[in-house]
Structure 1
């Protein structure tokens, strides 16, 4: 009876180590593995392209109370960004010059309502979520980053705009699939 348990334990350990090594190798080669519901699950490659509406980007969140809360509540992973935050992948929905309006009903860019952008007042655990409000034309260094797939994503509807300096790379999906 003990041999099957040892074999299972060794198999699980081997698989865990292999996945860890694979993820390190992927990051070194400029590939991100997304497992979150904010974007399609799969592999994303760093590309040398401009930040434009519709592009996917990897960014380090700015250090502030909202991202501290997100890290502490496990909305975002811990990582190597300042503040101990993990790098986030989101899609660009507004760029410099665009008019953005954010309230509880959702996000409007240049007068168009974005799907799945309504704010929730609390998370799945019943904890209150930030209620960010904005009405502005984005300046030369501001971007609106969010998920149009997941109405429960932690994104711009709760943390607002992201400065250009926070964006690390533009990434492009190379292999994705649905859950």
Structure 2
């Protein structure tokens, strides 16, 4: 085998993962590398109905100063949402019109949510400021993950429902 043939073969083989990634991305597959939900391959399923409490969704965060700071702190990774932010996988816990209270944990319409403790500091010891609570405004959602270290609406508040990409469905996942 000639040197040129070997170079072309190696280059072609090196491109295979990129092509597979591109094809998977185009049909809605995503890789989750954060511990808020199981690690692994997830799929974005088109949402052909109104979002409901309990839906686990992929959502692009809004391009706000809060999320710019979250990106700098490493809470949100780089991705293909506006501002080059990564989509979040979160569970919808409150929809427009519902009352959210954030104290030492989260309560929706007066009912405390299990596994919703508010942390005073992040994993690096930096102070976290909880969102004070609100009635969820029209066209917004309050999102949560039961993972103790999750960066979610406990800290950034409701976000626009317009950022929903679809339902988050696990394909091949595992708990770390």
TM range (shorter): 0.7 to 0.9
Structure 1, unmatched stretches of 5+, are 1-9
Q: Is the 8 A contact 1:23 1:33 kept in 2?
A: no
Q: What corresponds to 1:130 in structure 2?
A: 129
Checking the alignment, whether the CA contact within 8 Å between 1:59 and 1:89 is kept in structure 2 is yes
Structure 2 counterpart of 1:70: 70
Q: Give the C-alpha shift of residue 20 in structure 1.
A: 5.0
CA distance in structure 2 between the aligned counterparts of 1:128 and 1:174, rounded to whole angstroms: 35
2:138 counterpart (134, 140, 145): 140
Query: Of the candidates 163, 172, 176, which is equivalent to residue 175 of structure 1?
Result: 172
Contact 2:102 2:130 (8 Å CA) reproduced: no
Of residues 147, 161, 165, the one that matches 1:164 is 161
- Please tell me whether the aligned partners of residues 78 and 86 of structure 1 are also in contact (alpha carbons under 8 angstroms): yes
- After TM superposition, the structure 1 = structure 2 runs for residues 25-40 of structure 1, keeping only pairs within 5 Å, are 25-40=23-38
Q: Which residue of structure 1 lines up, in the alignment, with residue 108 of structure 2? A: 109
Separation in structure 1 between the aligned mates of residue 36 and residue 18 of structure 2, nearest angstrom:
22
Question: Aligned partners of 2:117 and 2:168: how far apart in 1?
Answer: 26
- What is the number of residues matched between the two proteins? 163
Contact 1:76 1:85 in 2 (8 A): yes
Are the aligned partners of 1:56 and 1:90 in contact in 2 as well (CA < 8 Å)?
Answer: yes
Give the TM-score, by structure 2 length. Answer: 0.80
Q: Name the SS of the counterpart of 1:115 in structure 2.
A: coil
Q: Residue 172 and residue 123 in structure 1: after superposition, are their counterparts in 2 closer, same or farther (change >3 A)?
A: same
RMSD: 2.3
TM score, norm. by length of structure 1:
0.79
